[in-house]
Structure 1
Amino acid sequence: MFKEFTIIPSVRNLKNFDSALASISKVILLSEVHVGSLRSLVKRCHDNDKIALVNMDLVGGLATDKIGIKLLKNLFRVNGIISSNSINVNMAKMTALYAIQRFFLIDSRGFDSGLRALENTRSDAIEVLPGPLATRFKEKITKVRNVPLLGGGFITDKCTVSEIYKSGFMGLTTSKKDLWNDYGYLKQNK
């Protein structure tokens, strides 16, 4: 999924969904969605040749268990999930969904605990939050789990996007619409 740097539109408000569909990204993250609208949103993603990811921890009306994950794949046809829960990530992988582990930088104790959790996860990628701090921890995270890294959270300007890009991350998630389509400055500043 991450062969080149990708800015993933994170749709927190459905009024921005059409803008996400029109973006140049091949991936859309449905960050906050209700199970009642999920099927039609995923279908619209697929109709527009987009990969549909959901933040499993924020899907309203869906249990975050094995049955919920199977529903995401078989009924709602999502392509993958993002979750801070390692169990959900591993269950998603067993169900043949693309799985991204969310990794929060809170404090040193939480960081060490997160690294231990990464040793047992089968994630395809890791989203490191908050984005402005993510690049400082790249080497330590990739020593434990060497998969594509994404920045996420508090990514609101081109400078932060550029820093994440320059550091070798494979992408980022952002709800800031202004950043969804403008990649030109990245190539010039590498």
Structure 2
Amino acid sequence: MEKSSNVLIDKLYKNRLVAAVKDPKYLEEAIKYKDNISAVLLMTGTILTVKRYVDFIQSHDLPVILHVERIGGLQMDNNGIDFVKKYIRPAAIVTTKSGIIKKAKAKGIFVIQRVFLIDTDMYINLEKDMGKNQPDVIEIMPSRVPEFINRLSKVSPVPIITGGLLSSEEHAKNAFDNGAIAVSTSNIEMWKKDINLLI
């Protein structure tokens, strides 16, 4: 995972757009616009299909960030984490759960922590717990909270990405201007654009 995680970080800084795929029918679309995309955030599949999806995407030189909580039948206990690392082999996983972060990091998996900022208390807890969980990247949801992205990017020891409610180039530019290194979106119209031109 060490090599693939370095590739992922490099790609996040280079292309700055993550294609969030919520349905297998959009896998081909993500591949079609791969020159604009740094990675695919895979949010669909089951334990029977996910390896095929991951292999297909990664065979096109696009790293996969696997949203482990959205994969049907996948339990992220020690066996599930081993299954992801040794069999599915994504470049990274994304999770909202601190217990999964800790176990996955112990196994050498690159982890993105997804955080839903629903109120100020969530932000305060995130800042307070930063040293405990220590993911490799933090993803702030939704992307339309620039003030908090800005504040967090100034104190976080790891890069910040953001997603959710992102549907225009203006939204992406606002996120970049406030310290996000990349944005994620399931909006296919955004996949078609070279958002590096916004920086």
Contact 2:114 2:138 in 1 (8 A): yes
| Matching residue of 1:58 | 70
Which runs of 5 or more structure 2 residues have no equivalent in the other structure? 1-8
Q: TM (normalized to structure 1)?
A: 0.90
Q: How many residues align?
A: 187
Q: How does 1:92-103 map to 2 (within 5 A)?
A: 92-103=104-115
* Counterparts of residues 75-94 of structure 1 (less than 5 Å): 75-94=87-106
Contact 2:95 2:101 in 1 (8 A): yes
Look up the match of 2:19: 9
RMSD: 1.7
> Aligned partner of 1:105: which letter?
L
Describe the superposition over 1:8-44 as per-residue Cα deviations: whole angstroms up to 9, x where unpaired. 0000011111111222224111013212110101111
Look up the match of 1:179. 190
More helix by share: 2
CA–CA distance in 2 between the matches of 1:143 and 1:159?
Answer: 22
Q: Where do 4+ consecutive residues of structure 1 move more than 6 Å?
A: none
What is the one-letter code of the residue matched to 2:27?
Answer: F
Q: 2: distance between equivalents of 1:142 and 1:162?
A: 15
Indicate if the aligned counterparts of 1:100 and 1:123 stay in contact, CA closer than 8 A. Answer: yes
Q: Is the CA contact 2:63–2:91 (under 8 Å) kept in the aligned structure 1?
A: yes
User: If each structure's strand is expressed as a fraction of its own residues, which one has the higher value?
Assistant: 1
Aligned counterparts, 1:1-190, within 5 A = 1=9, 2-23=12-33, 24=35, 25-133=37-145, 135-142=146-153, 144-183=155-194, 186-187=196-197, 189-190=198-199
Q: How high is the sequence identity, in percent, across the aligned residues?
A: 22
State the TM-score, normalizing by the size of structure 2.
0.86
Stretches of structure 1 lacking an aligned partner (at least 5 in a row): none
